[in-house]
Structure 1
Amino acid sequence: MTRPMTVKRDAPQRLRRGIPRTPHEVCRCHVPVIPFLAMDALAALAASATVLLLFGRWFVPAVLPAVWVLSLAVQRAYEQHCLRAGTNEFRRVLRAAGLVVVGASVAWWFVPGAGFLHDTLFALPITVTASLLLRQVRHVRRRAGWHLGESVERAVVVGPARSAGKLIAMLRRNGACELEIVGVCLTDLGDLGSVDGVIPDRVPTFGGVDDTVEAVRRSGCDAVVALPGPELDTGELRKLSWELQADGVELLLAPVLADVAAPRLAVTPVAGLPLMELHGPTLSRLPRIPKELTDRMLAAAGLIVLSPLMLAIAVLVRLDSAGPALFRHRRVGLRGHEFTLLKFRTMYQDAERRKAELAALNQYGDGGLFKIVDDPRVTRVGAFLRHWSLDELPQLLNVVAGQMSLVGPRPLPPDESVALPEDIRQRRLMVKPGLSGLWQVSGRSELPMEERVRLDLTYVENWSTALDLHILAQTPGAVIRGTGAY
């Protein structure tokens, strides 16, 4: 059945209640700044109180809250696009911390005995950690539907049907509830005839490019996302931007390369033309040395803290079924070097022999990966360990040994790695495999193979410390949700 090309009065948001919005009725969606100011000030106050109690010096505790908020403002961490979860937010917070360190160093140079630098270097890690955690908690609450007085930003997508469908699916898959797509205007509407199977369900089609402004006014959306395509030339985009500006609606231009992180893109004027410059990925070893040192230290600390739990799990695995507590498997690591990956055993000992008889149930078909929902080879304790990702804990030993990282692409067995195209395989092997990664926090085994590969490549090409912190912050939530953990 062909889907309707015009929106009815039961369209998204207020249209569902039969009350179409006019431009004057639309209350544009903005993330409130005051809660973020309060959270950052609270983080600095906590660090200041700690310094005051431990060292009895008052100057840094007195000025740190104001200096911290001011530094964040200088780094534009309170702009609307930075108040939504993402690596850009992490980067600006870390830059603000660097700015505070520079200021404290200058003060220490003139007054070396006042303890400015000492107290700042002690308080700043507490401040940064608390600010990032508080911001992440707020983003998690918004994703869970607790919008805390602010509404979700709504957008209409303009562009080719297939590109629009992929964008909508990507936003839904990543849990990006900060931007809800409430409709599409298609540039290839006449060529399709029907959008069934192209545009996800429950997303109405308003019409073509010429219907964009009317779609914005009827849906009361906050932004328009324009996708690249020959039908949206310079003249069309300029005309559209003027019309949207009159209604106070943002115009967002999606890049041709959708998987490129924002910091790798920069606008470079050439002969008066704004050209988009694409910076190469950070793949050299030198910038990754701090990451490797941090990985090993955190993994070693994790082993010490979690050793009682790991011992208890090992005992349960042995009691539940015959066989060793640890499962050892060859995996492909950095630059193609193989290593032995450690996991708690979650299957019966005859699991490999039964693989052939269960091949028809493989959710990835005839591909290299082998995964079955409700796999009969999994033990009772193994099912519990898999659900809570506890079977992965021994891989902290792989991290300490330098074979893995805390964050990176998942390590594949040699046969599954060989099944990938050569260029993709070589790209994945340019970084160490990780305990957690983009596809682990995006749905794990529920994702199709091509999506898992895409997310791994996205991580490799867009790696940064901020991206690692972002993934680590999302990992506990992914474990608790248990999506795709089987």
Structure 2
Amino acid sequence: MPGRYRKRQRRRHGKHSVHRAHSTYGDKAGWYLPLAVAVDALGTGVPVLEILRHTGQPHPLECALVVAALWPSVRALRRRYAADVLGETRGVLAALSDWLVLLGVLAMLRTACGEIVRPVVALAGVALAPLLTMAASNLSQRHLISARRSAQAVRKVLVIGEPSTADHVVGHLAGRTDHAYVVVGVVPVGNAKLECGAPVTARLGSVDPENITEDASRVLGAAREHHAELVLVSPGPRLSADRLRRLCWALHDAKVPVAILPGLIDVAVRRVQLDAPAGLAMLHIAPPLRRGLQVGLKSLVDRLGAAFGLMLLAPMFAVVALAIRCTSPGPVFYKQTRYGQNCTPFLMWKFRTMVVDADARKADLESTGANENDGLMFKMRRDPRVTRVGRVLRRYSLDELPQLVNVMRGEMSLVGPRPPLPDEVARYDKVEVRRLAVKPGITGLWQVSGRSDLSWDETVRLDLRYVDNWSFTADVDVMARTLRAVVDGRGAY
């Protein structure tokens, strides 16, 4: 733990560990806002102007100026340009939501002003707006993720809690760099040893009136010493409600922001609802979606999407099949038993990318320690069983396309965890088997987050996050990210 903390701090601090006294996100790149506004204005104004001109519609310049002002205005009113929002997401769902609002506003203007422009022409003019906005958001997010690895646009955090809890919090935050928080110090509650290696400037003792009075001065002193911009409190037995309330009073009076950790991991914000019966802060956690309208919509989109994909990709299927047949002896398709929802076995289809006796040779490779995955899956970067054509198919995930047949049959979904092998499931523990609570998918968080480059623990964590926090809009987001992951090819082998 101490080694991982120090390694992460060197990556996230380096020469940038200077005090920032003002905005939490004030050191984000200055071009995020101008780029977002310029893309939104020009991405609507220019296409509308050109389309109206070429179709002979009246008042093309005036209409273009109105739309170019409306789209950024809608985005601004919905806080898309706020400092704490820019660069934080890819903007896929936000852009689509804003675009629907824009269409509603334009429809009202059209009703108020009369039929100036034909509806089909107007729709064509603003069709590119959400796509260009998403592209700009994606560019900003990728730059921000890279910048945070060098400790730019981060919040310096002081953690308060009992040592065991503080160790967990520090380790969890240090284990990833795709967030805005970097721990600069810990104020443990009690005398137990801190294992995470974070600096300890002060400690909070047992609860008594004198210590409650001293808590604020000790925490504020540590916050000033470490230039902390946020105090992150993890309550425990020694940090009572009254003690925590008084500490929050003192920190707020000193203009120091405070956040409380409820102890939850990988719970989507949309599942959390705040309540305060009798003055007690309470978090209601909604159960994962397993039935209802969204589940029905997912099933419908799966079947229709698979049917459309099979028709559209039929020529590609023929080309791939011919390439496999001409370069390697054996069948074109490879069928393998996998486990689906609720541990139900099914026959999964793929284009064959390995030699015919690949399964028989797997045991020999495992016995020689060739497996490069640290968990239950077998993965090799240069697997000798993979054919030349198979490497190309795997590089661009073309070998997965026949699984559209499994989606049509209802055995798989377009988005979901990867379907495991029977021998893998046989070794699952009670946590890992929860991956099978939903239908497996052709793509999912695993595929868009690094695929085979991920450790087994990271793979399980991503799958559990999907299983517990699934929503139809989340599936749309994953499918939008899949194209970039396929083109990038990272972790595909």
- The two structures have a TM-score, normalised by structure 1, of 0.77
Q: Which residue in 2 is equivalent to 1:63?
A: 66
Q: Structure 1 residues 18 and 138, CA, compared in 2 at 3 Å: closer, same or farther? A: closer
SS in structure 2 of the partner of residue 76 of structure 1: coil
SS in structure 2 of the partner of residue 410 of structure 1: coil
Q: Which residue in 2 is equivalent to 1:190?
A: 191
CA drift at 1:49:
3.7
2:262 is the counterpart of 1:260: no
SS in structure 1 of the partner of residue 132 of structure 2: helix
2:403 is the counterpart of 1:395: yes
**Contact kept? 1:51, 1:61, Cα under 8 Å:** no
Identify which of 126, 142, 149 aligns with 2:128: 126
Q: Distance in 2 between matches of 1:95 and 1:391?
A: 34
Q: Which residue in 2 is equivalent to 1:327?
A: 334
Identify which of 54, 76, 83 aligns with 1:73: 76
Q: Structure 1 residues 306 and 182, CA, compared in 2 at 3 Å: closer, same or farther? A: farther
CA drift at 1:320:
4.2
CA drift at 1:205:
5.7
Q: Which amino acid aligns with 2:99?
A: A
Identify which of 268, 271, 286 aligns with 2:278: 271
SS in structure 2 of the partner of residue 48 of structure 1: helix
The alignment's C-alpha RMSD in Å is 4.3
Q: Which residue in 2 is equivalent to 1:354?
A: 361
- Give the number of aligned pairs: 468
Q: Which amino acid aligns with 2:452?
A: S
Aligned ranges 1:413-452 → 2 under 5 Å: 413-417=421-425, 419-421=427-429, 425=433, 428-452=435-459
Aligned ranges 1:407-418 → 2 under 5 Å: 407-417=415-425
CA drift at 1:77:
2.6
SS in structure 1 of the partner of residue 37 of structure 2: helix
Q: Which amino acid aligns with 2:154?
A: E
Q: Which residue in 1 is equivalent to 2:36?
A: 36
Q: Which residue in 2 is equivalent to 1:281?
A: 288
Larger mean CA deviation between 306-315 and 255-264 belongs to 306-315
- The two structures have a TM-score, normalised by structure 2, of 0.76
Identify which of 329, 340, 343 aligns with 2:347: 340
CA drift at 1:436:
1.8
Q: Structure 1 residues 112 and 207, CA, compared in 2 at 3 Å: closer, same or farther? A: same
**Contact kept? 2:184, 2:228, Cα under 8 Å:** no
CA drift at 1:327:
1.4
Q: Distance in 2 between matches of 1:48 and 1:146?
A: 37
CA drift at 1:263:
1.6
SS in structure 1 of the partner of residue 361 of structure 2: coil
SS in structure 2 of the partner of residue 440 of structure 1: helix
SS in structure 2 of the partner of residue 277 of structure 1: strand
Q: Structure 1 residues 385 and 122, CA, compared in 2 at 3 Å: closer, same or farther? A: same
Q: Which residue in 1 is equivalent to 2:208?
A: none
**Contact kept? 2:156, 2:183, Cα under 8 Å:** yes
CA drift at 1:2:
8.1
Q: Structure 1 residues 114 and 164, CA, compared in 2 at 3 Å: closer, same or farther? A: farther
**Contact kept? 1:182, 1:219, Cα under 8 Å:** no
Larger radius of gyration: 2
Larger mean CA deviation between 297-306 and 182-191 belongs to 297-306
What are the Cα deviations for residues 11-66 of structure 1, in whole angstroms up to 9, with x where unaligned?
86998559864x75x66433454433333323333553465256525475442232
Q: Structure 1 residues 15 and 118, CA, compared in 2 at 3 Å: closer, same or farther? A: closer
Q: Which amino acid aligns with 1:152?
A: A
SS in structure 1 of the partner of residue 417 of structure 2: coil
Q: Distance in 1 between matches of 2:224 and 2:425?
A: 50
Q: Distance in 1 between matches of 2:335 and 2:361?
A: 18
Give identity over the alignment, percent. 32
CA drift at 1:437:
1.3
CA drift at 1:132:
1.8
What are the Cα deviations for residues 143-189 of structure 1, in whole angstroms up to 9, with x where unaligned?
234999x932133251455655655665566650x525243415367
**Contact kept? 2:16, 2:152, Cα under 8 Å:** no
**Contact kept? 2:187, 2:219, Cα under 8 Å:** no
CA drift at 1:472:
3.2
What are the Cα deviations for residues 236-257 of structure 1, in whole angstroms up to 9, with x where unaligned?
5555555655776543433422
What are the Cα deviations for residues 421-463 of structure 1, in whole angstroms up to 9, with x where unaligned?
56864x5445432222122233323444444233222112212
What are the Cα deviations for residues 326-359 of structure 1, in whole angstroms up to 9, with x where unaligned?
2112333345554432222222222222233334
CA drift at 1:260:
0.8
Q: Structure 1 residues 293 and 68, CA, compared in 2 at 3 Å: closer, same or farther? A: farther
SS in structure 2 of the partner of residue 412 of structure 1: coil
Q: Structure 1 residues 61 and 16, CA, compared in 2 at 3 Å: closer, same or farther? A: closer
Q: Which amino acid aligns with 1:130?
A: L
